[in-house]
Chain A
Amino acid sequence: MTELRDGNGLATAEKLYTQYGSRARELKASGKKVIGYLSALGPVEIMTAAGVVPIRLKGNVSEAISKGDAYMESIVCPFVRNVFDAAVKGKYDFLDGMVLPHQCDSIDRTNETWSYTLKLPYWHFLNVPHVTDDPSITFMKEILRIFIGTLEKFTGTKITDEAIANAVKAHNENRKLMRELYDLRKSNPPLISGTEMMKVLVAAMSLPVDESSALIKAVTKEVKERKPAAGKPAAKRIMLIGDQIDDVAVIDAIESAGAYLVMEDLSIGAKMYWEDVDATADPVQGIAERYLRKLKIPTTFVGSADTYEGILDERFGQMKKYVNEFKVDGAILFIYKYCDPYGFEVPAIKSYIEAAGASVLYLEDEYSTSSLARVKTRIEAFLEMIA
């Protein structure tokens, strides 16, 4: 990795963002095993404890799907298709294996398409439940233990509870550091722009946890040293909501229209970093609880409250909190086409956030910049509307 030193955190993030996977490729060349994974449900603590390099996979919104469509239907989530296309084209040819957590039908139903096409030495489908009750926690622990067993077999090394507990600490520290960076978005104007933040988030998910933490620390130090600029009084503060948005294109569309992207609830962003793993006697217990009950993603069902309003708080309460803490004027709900888990939540999220005092723009789009002009027009119109 580019050596981190004072003042080059953002430049390093930019490089890692632009050359995604470059560090994992280096580590592979040095003899490490690299495991790719999809979605916020990838249990990075266990991969770290196994001594492998976990890298969360992303696609390329600027590149048309040209090879993946020969294997995978166009009704599949456009993000999943794009990543698969990238993998088929060899972008991730340094991977030793992959973990597909059961987030949604688009992942579950294409598991065999991935595994039979890519033919990697290691493959694991992590059957994460969609329900969060007590039997589901027990079951989650069982499937995490199965996952641990397969990794042990693949690496030839025992994964001890101590190693898992240490990895939990390292990832909790990483999340804490990222939350501190998020705090720098609360000022007006925010000290770090939305595009810069996106590059840091993407860079961070491509690194081993210790390197990721070092990067975040460097960026935070650099950003803290910035002098607060005079805010544009009329600039609106926007929050972006969605699953894996991992490119600056949409954010640039927001910020180039004169608004600040001050917060997001994305699966590579706040959803990942807001909740830690509790230290539990059995470290797998804490991991199971975090991924099932703490992660606020639409494929883990919650609904135990007595009233519908209470259930909405359980499902989307963090968004209301962000609206207040980050002084959000408007939210953009950016949902990929063919996404049942997010798509069925749109009316509920929209009304919930509007009740919290922020206007909402709902956009359904592809994981592609091919429709960016239309997206920009919608965003500009939205910003004019809430001005």
Chain B
Amino acid sequence: MQTCLVVDDSSIVRKIARRILEGLDFQVIEAEDGVDALVVCKKAMPEAVLLDWNMPVMDGYHFLSHLRRMPGGDTPRVVFCTTENGIEHIERALEGGANEYIMKPFDKEIIAAKFQEVGLIAVPE
């Protein structure tokens, strides 16, 4: 089973994301900020990261740049999931090594479509 790390400071968002991702057959680990998330990644790299941008302690963008410099940190598919919906944020995220980008609000269809896009789940025949 693939693992998805959900990084978001809102417990409600984490709960919604968990339900959707478990429905897509992922094992879910939660972290509430970037520092927390790095601790998780040091233990074992997840296959996927669903990543909020604005969080206390360490934001999603800084987490991503740390992650991509870690040994094995280039393997997780990172999908931003944030209320930041400006094109400048999207471009910055892609340059910083994000694989996909979701503008909140999101639903199951959007997560599934984006996860298909980056090859985390198969495209139904």
Tell me, yes or no, whether A binds B. Answer: no
Residue numbers of B with Cβ under 8 A of A are none
